[in-house]
A and B are shown apart, each in its own frame.
Chain A
Amino acid sequence: MSNYIIETEKLTKKYGARRVVHQVDLKVKKGEIYGFLGPNGAGKTTTIKMLLGLARPTKGSIHIFGKDMKKDKLAVLKKIGSLVEYPSYYGHLTAYENLEAVRILLDAPKSRIDEVLSIVRLTRDAKRPVKGFSLGMKQRLGIATALLGNPELLILDEPTNGLDPSGIIEIRELLKSMPKEHGITIVVSSHLLSEIDQMATQVGIISKGEMIFQDSIETLRKRSSSKIKLTVNDAQSAWRNLMSNGFKTDVVQNQLFVDSVTDEKIAEIVSSLVKNDYSIYRVEEEKKSLEEIFLELTGGEGSL
């Protein structure tokens, strides 16, 4: 048996002829915060629904905690807390009653309700009907519901949607602390790379239904290879000059770019420019942002 908490194999979902998820091999290790990233409509929510048994895969298999989701669904779900898309709630019940309706099903101790309410800071509003809640409060209630059963695995689909900046930070810190303090594994989806960047340890990027990247966040960052940017007085002529001397550069908006090369090479380029009487204003290192890598991976689809 593998040491993955979640392992899918060739997971595929079609709605009619439309392929929403195609051969996704999702692998999540214990104690990770797995950031599931992709533009809107890339298949994130569908994948998550399949993980939770809400939608049936057309093809492929899902193993969670080493158990086949098809056979041991209930045993698996017992150890999962989830929040899918927008939060689920019963508008006519108070926050407390909403949690109670779920607590009864999970057979969790009653004291757990107060615990999760205080974790998401809803203790003060617990006695109000949820239909009067703001989106952020509903979202926090949804997270509280997910935490109710003391899950070993938390699956959250866009959990920071509709939260204000301070709420986002709070949820983020909360999620980050969980693997350390409680040994919980977390899968969190988002269409915002910056979001994932700040909390995830592993990243899976899905685009048009296919997994196009899956590795640690460090590996993703390493891809942000640097370039050297040179600002000179006459970029066009300097570029031609460098070309004739055998240096390969690019010129963009009157600036010269050199792909990641050794320090010696840069020194040679600079001395060549100086020799040919070009004025060098700046020599800078420019890192590709994660956004650019993301756009590159997804083929420029969907803004972030």
Chain B
Amino acid sequence: MGRLFQSEFLKLRKSLIWLLIFVSPILSLFLGLLESNEITNVKGAEWMTTLSMMTISHAILFLPLLAGVFSSFVCRYEHAGGGWKQLLAMPVSRGSIYVAKLLVVAALIAATQLLFVVCLLFIGWVKGYPSVIPWDSIAISIVGGWVACLPLIALQMFVSVAWSSFAAPLALNVILTIPNMLIINSEKFGPYYPWAQPFLAMMPNSSEGFGALNVSLVTLLIVILGSLGLFLSSGFVYFKRKEV
């Protein structure tokens, strides 16, 4: 498994696509720097206000789309150079190949999330926010956003493996992500739409939060983990049976 991960990493590193992990945090950084000037921060809640602000630009569209782009990409060079037949004729199980690719994408999303925190801290430093940083809430938001991306990665990996075109899985991802712009506003439907979860999980102080999380237990168990299980297992079964 480790060796597969290493091999995937080698293929990825040279492709420069990993540079995309910087884009959204940096955009959020600029928006954060720009917008906080206009809004009078609630005393003592500066960190969370800025986090919310940055989450809007980062998690409504960017995060779900990024999950799709990365998934499509780790499959693209296999489709393009006939890599599947070489890879699948290796003495490595198909299951671990699939998991390795998923892990690479999950790691890239995790890196994006970490950079996002770095940018938040940078804004706080520039603006002289209180030195007491609400690490708990920030961690919940960041990790929650990452977990909520996992089902999307699983589905995108499935279609990226199945379709050799780069545009097709991306189109599907866009079609599923654009409704976010409406659905996140809906108290009733938001919690049930997997593509809206990265945003909802990252947005602090939502009223329905379960325990320390930003999403309810039902959402976490059924929508996030449920869709993850569904997409992961169907993709897995497909890949096991795939013929090249």
Is B133 at the interface (CB under 8 A from chain A)? no
A264 vs chain B, min Cβ distance (A) = 58
Query: Looking at chain B's contact residues, is the secondary structure mostly helix, strand, loop, or mixed?
Result: helix
What residues of B have a CB within 8 angstroms of the CB of A105 in the complex?
Answer: 3-4, 7, 87, 90-92
Q: A54-B244, A88-B86 are in contact. Are A102 and B7 (CB under 8 A)?
A: yes
Instruction: Output the least CB separation between B8 and chain A (Å).
Output: 8
Whether A104 pairs with B6 at a CB distance below 8 angstroms is yes
Interface residue A74 (Cβ < 8 Å from any Cβ of B): yes
Are A54 and B82 in contact, CB atoms less than 8 angstroms apart?
Answer: no
- Whether B11 pairs with A85 at a CB distance below 8 angstroms is no
A88→B3 contact, CB < 8 A: no
* A47-68 contact mask (Cβ, 8 Å, vs B): 1 or 0: 0010011111000000000000
Q: Report Cα–Cα, A32/B50, bound state, in Å.
A: 71
Question: Which residue of A is nearest B88, CB measured?
Answer: A54
B179 at the interface (CB under 8 A from A): no
Whether A89 lies near B81 (C-beta < 8 A) is: yes
CB atoms of B10 and A104 under 8 A apart: yes
- CB of A163 within 8 Å of the partner chain: no
**Does B136 belong to the interface (CB within 8 Å)?**
no
User: Which among B3, B6, B82, B241 is the interface contact of A87 at CB below 8 angstroms?
Assistant: B82
Instruction: Contact check, A104 vs B89: say whether CB atoms are below 8 A apart.
Output: no
Of the candidates A49, A53, A56, A88, the one whose C-beta lies within 8 Å of that of B82 is: A88
CB under 8 Å from chain B, chain A span 94-133: 97, 100-102, 104-107, 130
List the B side residues contacting A52 at CB < 8 Å.
Answer: 85, 88-89
Q: Is residue B77 contacting chain A, with contact meaning CB distance below 8 A? A: yes
A92 close to B90 (CB less than 8 A): no
Whether A90 contacts B89 in the complex (CB less than 8 A), given A97-B10, A101-B11, A102-B7, comes out as no
Closest residue of chain B to A131 (Cβ to Cβ) is B81
Decide: A106 and B90 in contact? CB cutoff 8 A: yes
Interfacial residues of chain B within 123-166, with CB under 8 A of chain A in the complex: none
For residue B80, CB closer than 8 A to chain A, the reply is yes
Q: Does A91 contact B (CB under 8 A)?
A: yes
Task: Report chain A residues within 8 Å CB of B244.
Answer: 49, 54-55
What's the nearest-Cβ distance from chain A to residue B188, in Å?
A: 45
Nearest Cβ distance between residue B208 and chain A, in whole angstroms? 45
How distant is the Cα of A130 from the Cα of B14 in the complex, in angstroms? Answer: 13
Q: Are A102 and B89 in contact (CB under 8 A)?
A: no
C-alpha gap A130/B88 in the complex (Å): 21
Q: Across the interface, do B10 and A89 meet the contact criterion of CB distance under 8 Å?
A: no
Residues of B near A106 (CB, < 8 A) are 90-91
CB of A168 within 8 Å of the partner chain: no
15 further interface pairs, Cβ-Cβ under 8 Å (given A52-B85, A56-B241, A91-B80): A54-B85, A82-B86, A84-B82, A85-B85, A86-B82, A88-B85, A89-B83, A90-B11, A90-B81, A101-B10, A102-B7, A102-B90, A104-B7, A104-B10, A130-B81
Q: What are 30 residue pairs bridging A and B, where the CB atoms are less than 8 Å apart in the complex? A: A49-B243, A52-B88, A53-B88, A53-B89, A54-B244, A56-B241, A75-B91, A77-B91, A78-B91, A80-B89, A82-B86, A82-B89, A84-B82, A85-B85, A86-B82, A87-B82, A88-B81, A88-B87, A90-B11, A91-B80, A92-B14, A97-B10, A97-B14, A101-B11, A102-B86, A105-B87, A105-B90, A106-B90, A106-B91, A130-B81
